[in-house]
């Protein structure tokens, strides 16, 4: 089972490393989003996506871009129509 992990250098880094080790012990495959220059996580992960280092406040904005691209490409490979999402609720507000 593939597991996507955001493992950037921030206050929860050590906990994420521990969680990755648990997934690896259960034979999971790791796809990790890591900070550039990290050497710990790439040694444990099958696939690594590096993002530039930035402040902890801005790291979610930097990390979400490769995750959105990953989900887009997976949907295209599965043959899903990415322009017509299913179960999307639409509403119109009239004043």
* Residue 28: band (very low, low, confident or very high) from pLDDT cuts 50, 70, 90: very high
CA separation for the pair 87, 95 (Å, rounded) = 26
Would you say residue 36 has pLDDT above 80? yes
pLDDT at position 84 is 74
49, burial (CB in 10 Å: exposed 0-12, middle 13-18, buried 19+): middle
* Bridge pairing between strands 47-51 and 2-7: unpaired
Would you say residue 90 has pLDDT above 70? no
pLDDT at position 42 is 94
| pTM value surpassing 0.75 | yes
Would you say residue 88 has pLDDT above 80? no
Nearest Cα to Cα of residue 21 among 39, 40, 37: 40
**Distances, alpha carbon 29 to alpha carbons 16, 24, 45, 48, 83, in Å:** 15, 7, 7, 11, 29
């Amino acid at each position: 089972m593939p597991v996507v992990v955001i493992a950037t250098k921030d206050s929860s880094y050590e906990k994420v490393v521990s969680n990755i080790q648990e997934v690896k012990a259960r034979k999971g495959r790791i796809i990790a989003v890591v900070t550039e220059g990290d050497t710990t996580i790439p040694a444990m992960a099958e696939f690594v996506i590096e993002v530039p280092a930035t402040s902890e406040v801005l790291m979610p904005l930097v990390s979400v871009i490769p995750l959105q691209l990953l989900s887009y490409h997976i949907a295209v490979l599965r043959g899903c129509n990415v322009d017509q999402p299913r179960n999307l609720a639409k509403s119109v507000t009239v004043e």
